[in-house]
Amino acid sequence: MDMGETEERLHRFLKEKVIEFKVPRERRIFVRIKKESFREVVEYLVNTLAFRHLSTITGVDLGKEIELLYHLAHNGAIELSLGLSIPKDNTCISTITDLIPGAVLYEREVHDLFGVKFEGHPDLSPLLLPEGWPQGVYPLRKEHSLDELRELMSKKWG
């Protein structure tokens, strides 16, 4: 499946589910979709279009929302970044570990650093942050400045 065919099939499938669709260059696609369609779109990408490799998941703080970007690869070559936004006051999203087992640590990382709860994930215990890290402090969110995080760490661990 080449770029042209991938784009065409995506357009045909996504229709009203899509918010933004851009192709910045060869082998790169950015798709932003509505949160409600997330599972449906991921299942289509993984099972039908064979985007089986998850390169990673990026969290981005948009202010009132957290954006999640799932970087999926087809055949090692075409990298599709699937984006969706979830509100900060309800940061729940379905896990994709049932579709791509390799997502297990990437979801935990985003959970640690952005406070996104992946429903159905087998174990969301801390992965990167130290034991005793205060609840509700998600260091990669913009509301926590570097100074604040430093103060927190020096208070706790000297």
Partner 1 sequence: MGYASTIKVPFGPQHPAFKEPEYFLFEVEGDLVVNVTPRIGYAHKGIEKAFEQRNYNENIYLAERICGICSHAHATCYTQAIEEMLGIQIPPRARYIRTIIAELERLHSHSLWVGIAAHEVGYDTLFMYTWRDREVVMELLEALTGGRVTHAMNTIGGVRRDISADIIPKVKSGLDYFEKRTKEYLGILKTEPTFLKRTEGVGILKPEDAVGLCAVGPTLRASGIKNDVRADDPYAAYDEVPFNVVTLDGCDVLSRTLARGEEMLESIGIIRNALDHMPTGELRVRVPKVVPPAEVFSRVEAPRGELIHYAKSNGTAKPERYKVRSPTLANIPALCKTLLGVHLADIPIILAGIDPCFACMDRMVFVDTKANKKWDLTMDQLKQGVNK
Instruction: Give the DSSP H or E segment for 3.
Output: helix 3-14
Assess 104 for contact with partner 1 (CB under 8 A).
Answer: yes
Options 9-17, 37-45, 86-94, 144-152: segment touching partner 1 (CB under 8 A) = 144-152
Nearer to partner 1, 15 or 142 (CB): 142
Nearer to partner 1, 1 or 128 (CB): 128
Long-range contacts from 49-57, C-beta under 8 angstroms, 24+ separation: 49/1, 49/6, 49/9, 49/10, 49/74, 50/1, 50/74, 50/75, 51/78, 51/80, 52/100, 53/102, 54/96, 54/100, 54/102, 54/103, 54/106, 55/79, 56/106, 57/103, 57/106, 57/107, 57/109, 57/110
Nearer to partner 1, 11 or 150 (CB): 150
Assess 130 for contact with partner 1 (CB under 8 A).
Answer: yes
Nearer to partner 1, 48 or 75 (CB): 75
Q: 92-94 and 117-119 as β-strands: parallel, antiparallel, unpaired?
A: parallel
Nearer to partner 1, 4 or 15 (CB): 4
Options 5-13, 35-43, 86-94, 97-105: segment touching partner 1 (CB under 8 A) = 97-105
Interacting positions 49-78 with partner 1 (CB under 8 A) = 52-56, 58, 60-61, 69, 71, 75-77
Distance (Å, whole) CA 106 – CA 91: 16
Q: Which residues pair with 33 in a beta bridge?
A: 18
Interface residues with partner 1 (CB under 8 A) are 24-25, 27-28, 30, 52-56, 58, 60-61, 69, 71, 75-77, 79, 81, 100-106, 109, 113, 126-130, 139-140, 146, 149-150, 153-154, 157-158
